[in-house]
């Protein structure tokens, strides 16, 4: 793998100066009296793959929106490397090292694969628009460097043959891979994946699972995964948190979660008890 794939920034003080990479403390989020997130607490450590599961409407995506500060909770705190990020703008959370994909594909359909992934580099660009328009000196060197990183991401995700194709013409599974590539281009230390295999067939799901594990194992990037595919979650997650109606009902290793009666009841109801 190319050494130019990602050159992630490291805190000069080192990871020993914070207990957890990300920590959510007693998060409460309501909309017009309806509780979307009700007292949820969890943490994610460096390089960990942490999954959040739950039935539809359990509060998973709302919790994602709190983490990257799209929503502000009425109560609680979110710590990034030991420092509160409440009130920080979403683009600033990205600059700090938190990247995200979305449940619905949000790519630019008329732009090529390369161009879509390159848009993820905007948070790492230092030169202004005028210097970029002139394309000389530092601006030229910066763009060349960013394009090299994007090409490495394209190689990493095995989408070379589509690199110059408009994204809107590509199969759904490839589009999801491009969206993952754009998030990787943001140079994250934490990657938030909102239902990355939703709508995929079995082959596409297996491919995406492989790339997710490669992101964790080869790049050392921590991942928060929201997903309805229980087989995928139980196969690849280090720890799993289960939400139901905004409440946290269980957190632990996959094997422990699979045997938790509250989890079984939340997913399958009373019928499970009589089966």
Length of the chain: 275
Q: What is the mean pLDDT of residues 245-255?
A: 94
Six-digit token pair at 84?
A: 């509160």
Comparing 18-22, 63-67, 266-270, the range with the smallest average pLDDT is 266-270
Asked whether residue 271 carries a pLDDT value surpassing 50, the answer given is: no
Quote the CA–CA distance of 95 and 125 in Å, as a whole number.
Answer: 10
Quote the CA–CA distance of 144 and 138 in Å, as a whole number.
Answer: 10
Decide: helix, strand or coil at residue 190. strand
The per-residue pLDDT for 138 is 65
> Quick one: three-class SS letters along the chain?
CCCCCCCCCCCCCCHHHCCCCEEEEEEEEEECCEEEEEEEEEEECCCCEEEEECCCCCCHHHHHHHHCCCCCCCEEEEEECCEECCCCCHHHHHHHCEEECCCCCCCCCCCEHHHHHHHHHHHHCCCCHHHHHHCCCHHHHHHHHHHHHHHHHHHHCCCHHHCCCEHHHCCHHHHHHHHHHHHHCCCCCEEEEECCCCCCCHHHHHHHHHHHHHHHHHHCCEEEEECCCHHHHHHHCCEEEEEECCEEEEEECHHHHHCCHHHHHHHHCCHHHHC
Q: Residues of the chain with pLDDT > 70: what percent?
A: 85
The per-residue pLDDT for 149 is 93
The per-residue pLDDT for 256 is 94
Q: What is the mean pLDDT of residues 221-248?
A: 94
Cα 15 to chain centroid distance, Å, stands at 20
pLDDT band at 126; cut points 50, 70, 90: low
Domains, the chain = 19-274 (3.40.50.300)
pLDDT tens for 134-165 read 554 566 677 777 889 999 999 999 999 999 99
Q: Say if CB 40 and CB 63 are below 8 A apart.
A: yes
Asked whether residue 18 carries a pLDDT value surpassing 90, the answer given is: no
pLDDT tens for 83-113 read 999 999 988 999 899 999 988 888 999 999 9
Six-digit token pair at 40?
A: 């949820």
Q: What is the mean pLDDT of residues 23-29?
A: 97
The per-residue pLDDT for 134 is 55
Mean pLDDT of the chain: 86
């Amino acid at each position: 793998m190319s050494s130019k794939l990602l050159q992630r920034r490291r805190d000069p003080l080192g990871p020993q100066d914070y207990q957890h990479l990300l920590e959510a403390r007693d998060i409460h989020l309501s909309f017009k009296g309806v509780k979307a997130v009700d007292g949820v607490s969890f943490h994610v450590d460096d390089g960990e793959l942490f999954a959040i599961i739950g039935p539809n409407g359990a509060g998973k995506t709302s919790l994602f929106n709190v983490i990257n500060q799209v929503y502000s909770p009425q109560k609680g705190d979110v710590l990034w490397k030991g420092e509160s990020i409440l009130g920080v703008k979403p683009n600033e959370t990205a600059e700090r090292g938190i990247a995200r994909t979305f449940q619905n594909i949000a790519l630019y359909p008329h732009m090529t694969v390369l161009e879509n992934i390159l848009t993820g580099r905007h948070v790492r660009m230092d030169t202004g628009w005028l210097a970029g328009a002139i394309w000389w000196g530092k601006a030229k060197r910066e763009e060349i460097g960013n394009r090299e990183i994007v090409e490495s991401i394209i190689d990493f995700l095995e989408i070379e043959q589509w690199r110059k194709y408009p994204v809107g013409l590509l199969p759904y599974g490839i589009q999801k891979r491009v969206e993952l590539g754009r998030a990787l281009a943001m140079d994250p230390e934490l990657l938030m994946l909102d239902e990355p295999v939703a709508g995929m067939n079995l082959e596409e799901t297996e491919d995406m699972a492989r790339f997710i594990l490669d992101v964790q194992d080869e790049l050392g990037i921590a991942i928060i995964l929201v997903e309805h595919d229980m087989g995928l979650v139980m196969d690849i997650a280090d720890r799993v948190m289960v939400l139901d109606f905004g409440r946290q009902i269980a957190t632990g290793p996959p094997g422990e979660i699979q045997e938790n009666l509250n989890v079984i009841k939340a997913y399958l109801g009373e019928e499970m008890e009589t089966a």
